[in-house]
Structure 1
Amino acid sequence: MIAKLKHFIQSHTQESSPEDKVKHLNLAAATLLLEVVYADEHLASSEAALLPAMLVNTLHISADEASELINEAKLSRHNATSLFEFTTEINSQFSVEDKQKLLLAMWKLAYADGELSQYEDQIIRRTADLLYLKHSELIQMRNIAMEIR
């Protein structure tokens, strides 16, 4: 516990390069997407197949970078204590439009297996609140995701 706290303090007090900032930001976004994928406690093949595409489209990265990011996000997700540590990073760097795209990707992943679990819905709503998005934006992104599927 003390080691984690020490690492957290060091990572937030050291100056980061622009590349490191982008990497941390992408990791935060990928981890939030993974939270949706694992929210209902089973990984549907449709969700697993859609996740890399969501990362490529949302974060504008390559497929190889998306694969690497998913592996890093799995570790990050496992060590996380709350969504706040990821949404804080996103709030500091993402525009409202970027946040909406991330939320849309979360909804698309939630509906990828054909059904929305209450846990997926809860994580997306909590994330939207932590990203300071309006309820109308949350509903608008959900409706877009439902139309696409």
Structure 2
Amino acid sequence: MTTQRLIIAAGWLAAAVLAVLVGVVAISVIGDGLVSSAGRPLAESEVAKRLAAEPDPTPSVSAEPTREPAPAGGSKTRRTPGGTVTAQCTSGEAVLHLAPALGFEVHEVHGAEGEFRSVSDNHDRVKVRVSCAGGAPEISVEHEQR
């Protein structure tokens, strides 16, 4: 009976060695994907380069198309809780461009007025109005939270 026990023990030992080898190979293969250069953090300069190469993912909505360039000093940009507002005065008329922030969408744009609304509940609203005074845009913002 001792030879039978010896064979069983050798079989268990071989199975354990095989299991450890399979685990080591699997970790080696998976580890190459985890620690390769694709998974490493990027330096600030690398992030800036990659962002500069990407197109702007933020859609903008325009109240009306701009047919002529704005005169020097006739454009103004302002960040609001709902997004970025860019206004131009062209021939005394205000032109409004809206780019929503994360979590907001452009609800409406009518002439020189527009509104951002929260995508989660529509209760968080940012209303913007643009006027042209002396060829320079003036942006007023009203933030409503209900």
TM-score (norm 1): 0.28
Q: Which has the larger radius of gyration?
A: 2
Answer 1 or 2: higher relative contact order, Cα 8 Å, separation at least 6: 1
